[in-house]
Amino acid sequence: MITKPATLKGTRDFLPHQIAKRSYLFDTIRTVFQSYGFAPIETPAMEKSETLLGKYGEEGDKLLFRILNNGDFMEGVDTGASSASIASQISKRALRYDLTVPFARFVSQHRNELQFPFKRYQIQPVWRADRPQKGRYQEFFQCDADVVGSESLWHEVDFIQIFDEVLTRLGLKVFTIKMNNRKILAGLAEVAGHSDRLKDIAISLDKLDKVGKEQVILEWQSRGIDQEAIEKLSAIFAMKEKKSTEGLRALLAHSEIGLMGMDELDQVMAHAKALGLQSAKLEFDITLARGLDYYTGAIFEVVSDEVAIGSICGGGRYDDLTGIFGMPDMPGVGISFGADRIYDVLDQLQRWPADMMTVPDIIFMNFGEKEAFRCMQVMKEMRKMGYAAELYPSPVKMKKQLKYADDRGIRYVGLIGGEELSSGKITLKDMQEGSQESLELDGFKERMKRG
């Protein structure tokens, strides 16, 4: 039986022109990361299940792709157990869900080989068993930069500049870097008298933009936040509208952690603004929560204001990511570029630079055995000069050969047929101009150098 060819849902093939665009994107990100002192690493696509499980919350666990054990995976399995238990019995490996947790494992494992603070970047695919939508895939690339082993807030300032630099270079003109601090959210929970309910308060608050404040209040109520607390928290709504921290200090006056968050936020934003940004708008957003459980300080999210596709970058600070791998007191902060979403944004906006396809500089027409051999000799010299050259592989009709050159967007065509072979000349055709000239080998080289 023949299987109909198809990629799995949420996954895609990449054609040469798409790879060209993606490489340009990666190269831009890589260049900027390196200019800020980050060095590349790679980790395996799969990890032990226990490395990944429980790191992304309950929802995240469900989105992990599990890998079935090899061999007789049912041997000794308690089939009466729960699905989750059976799953962990028959699957000891999983595909990575992001690059941050594998990085934490990496740092802990190689701690004696690294110099701290350690700054690494990583551009690799990740997998999530999510339901696909536009800009939402089951396999996609993340481009992460993290620094571990430093509490300095200068890193936060660096990351804001990196967002600005990369996205500006890629041609995005209108985008917003949203910033908040988990300590501020913790402070709010504290003054509301619900320190233990930080997550409930933040998750509902995060939806403010979408559902409005009445709905947020309703959701708080249903999550068991009492009326007195809600009244205190309501002061937030005004701050959200003004996008300012005005009045926030007063509200957090009795929360040590809240005030600490305020200090951090003010310091980072002030420095980032003083250094200047090219295209980015930098905004405080009290409702920004982000789901990942491990964030403890600054949190970032970048959205394009030109294309509605969700966030294109994210990031934040975590005090203790490697603790679960047996390496306590290792603070870190990092960001991630969602390459595939940025790709989609650039596609939609048609912001790709021209001439990104890797196309040879010249193609030689094939007139037969002897003529082709002469072309091979000439091409050998051309390649030494740094040109990419190729020969049409078979001596078919000129029309077909030229159309091939045209379709591929190759600018120059070299013709060495019977006439040229006997006269020792080369006919060079410029496909853009539609002109052609007959040249000696030296003149031909000169002509190519002139472009």
Partner RNA sequence: GUGGUUGUAGCUCAGUUGGUUAGAGCGCCUGAUUGUGGUUCAGGAGGUCGUGGGUUCAAGCCCCAUCUUCCACCCCA
Q: 408 with 359: CB under 8 angstroms?
A: yes
Count of chain residues binding RNA (CB under 7 A): 61
What is the chain's Cα-based Rg?
29
Per CB under 7 A, the list member of 16, 76, 355, 397 interacting with RNA is 397
**Does residue 340 bind RNA (CB under 7 A)?**
yes
Which contiguous run of DSSP H or E holds residue 365? none
Nearer to RNA, 131 or 249 (CB): 131
Mapping DSSP to helix (H, G, I), strand (E, B) and coil, where does residue 243 land? coil
**Does residue 51 bind RNA (CB under 7 A)?**
no
Alpha carbon of 440 to those of 114, 257, 378, 412: distances in Å? 59, 79, 11, 16
CB 2, min distance to RNA, A: 7
From 4-12, 103-111, 262-270, 271-279, span contacting RNA (CB under 7 A): 4-12
**Does residue 370 bind RNA (CB under 7 A)?**
no
Distance CA 175, CA 396 (A): 52
**Percentage helix, strand, coil for the chain under 3-state DSSP, each rounded to 5:** 45, 20, 35
Taking each helix axis from N to C end, the angle separating 441-450 and 369-384, rounded to the nearest 10 degrees, works out to 50
Per-residue string for binding with RNA, 409-428, x by CB under 7 A? ------x-xxxx------x-
From 221-229, 265-273, 306-314, 381-389, span contacting RNA (CB under 7 A): 306-314
Per CB under 7 A, the list member of 49, 51, 108, 142 interacting with RNA is 142
* DSSP per-residue string spanning 149-214: S---THHHHHHHHHHHHHHHHTT--SEEEEEEEHHHHHHHHHHTT-GGGHHHHHHHHTTHHHH-HH
172-211: which residues touch RNA (CB under 7 A)? 203, 207, 210
Pairing of strands 139-148, 332-338: antiparallel
Nearer to RNA, 40 or 418 (CB): 418
CB 40, min distance to RNA, A: 19
CB 72, min distance to RNA, A: 26
Distance CA 200, CA 224 (A): 9
How many other CB atoms are found less than 10 A from the CB of residue 211? Answer: 12
**Does residue 48 bind RNA (CB under 7 A)?**
no
**Does residue 41 bind RNA (CB under 7 A)?**
no
Per CB under 7 A, the list member of 62, 242, 408, 449 interacting with RNA is 62
CB 441, min distance to RNA, A: 15
**Does residue 146 bind RNA (CB under 7 A)?**
no
Phi-psi region of 409 (alpha: psi -120 to 50; beta: other; left: phi over 0): left
Nearer to RNA, 191 or 367 (CB): 367
Mapping DSSP to helix (H, G, I), strand (E, B) and coil, where does residue 133 land? strand
How many other CB atoms are found less than 10 A from the CB of residue 273? Answer: 12
CB 217, min distance to RNA, A: 15
Per CB under 7 A, the list member of 352, 431, 443, 447 interacting with RNA is 431
83-122: which residues touch RNA (CB under 7 A)? 98
Binding site for RNA (CB under 7 A): 4, 6, 8-11, 57, 59-60, 62-63, 98, 128-138, 140, 142, 203, 207, 210, 290-292, 301, 310-314, 336, 338, 340-341, 367, 397-400, 402-403, 406-407, 415, 417-420, 427, 429, 431-432, 434, 436
